[in-house]
Structure 1
């Protein structure tokens, strides 16, 4: 699981809304490292970037994501061993800009739906990178 979070090339595969990633700056996911990408919905696209704020392998990653004039958000991911699998806790809060000013209960509902989709994508990326034998013997998500 941590291997996917620590691989900048995997970001667009599990982060909802990310169409393509560009260059990573620094040693991802080290604190201060950043990743540039294109965010899109339908025909609309925005250039974004994410900076690593906290990195405590193999269980904690906190990011600050920026979508230009739309604003920034803090995204915290925690991985906790849970039986034979891994419990993933994801928390996202708008920090600045339009997204922060428009943060309401309905927006929180939309964020929860987004997180469910991201967690499903993350699981699919993790499981897709392992052979069937690895899946049986290894980490369960």
Structure 2
């Protein structure tokens, strides 16, 4: 699983506020176009976030499931864009000595046709997208902290 990292001035609590609000998902996840529904217990394990990916008029409706949730520390999601594939996404928040936090994101496809792409190639493709995803997440959290 390839990882990208970003350090932000936002606290882990501020980053968690963004992650814990499923309606913010398309604001920070590159490729997500809209949210159609969010489980009332999001982001608890087992909760679902129904979303669409792509750009109008080519949108694919799918869902993301929360697999593990430790508030202000860790969130593991199972992201889907079926029939392309499914990928666990592991987000870890670690406080920094200056009061901000480091966000670490790991992702790799585990199901579907995208698995046919060699792992190193998948990681080269994921890294820029995931870097932009963390940039957006950090910006949203920093605005909440301001």
Q: Does 1:31 align with 2:45?
A: yes
Q: Give the distance between the partners of 1:60 and 1:112, measured in 2 at CA.
A: 20
Show structure 2 runs of 5+ residues with no match: 1-14
Unaligned runs of 5+ in 1: 132-141
Q: Displacement of 1:45 after TM fit?
A: 2.0
Summarize the alignment of residues 20-99 of structure 1 with structure 2, pairs less than 5 Å apart.
20-41=34-55, 43-84=57-98, 85-99=100-114
User: CA 1:43–1:108 in 2, change beyond 3 Å: closer, same or farther?
Assistant: farther
| Residue in structure 2 matched with residue 119 of structure 1 by the alignment | 134
Alpha-carbon distance in 1 for matches of 2:134, 2:54: 19
Which of structures 1 and 2 has the larger relative contact order (alpha carbons within 8 angstroms, sep 6+)?
2
Give runs of ≥4 in structure 1 deviating > 4 Å.
Answer: none
Shift of 1:101: 2.0
CA contact (8 A) 1:94 1:103 kept: no
Aligned-pair CA distance for 1:41: 4.7
CA distance, structure 2, for counterparts of residue 101 and residue 25 of structure 1: 32
Kindly tell me the number of residue pairs found equivalent between the two proteins: 131
- TM-score, normalised on structure 1? 0.86
Question: TM-score by structure 2 length?
Answer: 0.84
The equivalent residue for 1:16 is 30
Q: Which has the larger radius of gyration?
A: 1
Q: Distance between the aligned counterparts of 1:69 and 1:21, measured in 2?
A: 19
Residues 95-139 of structure 1: CA deviation (Å, up to 9, x unaligned): 1001222243222111111111001100111122343xxxxxxxx
2:110 partner SS: strand
Tell me the C-alpha RMSD between the 2 structures.
1.5
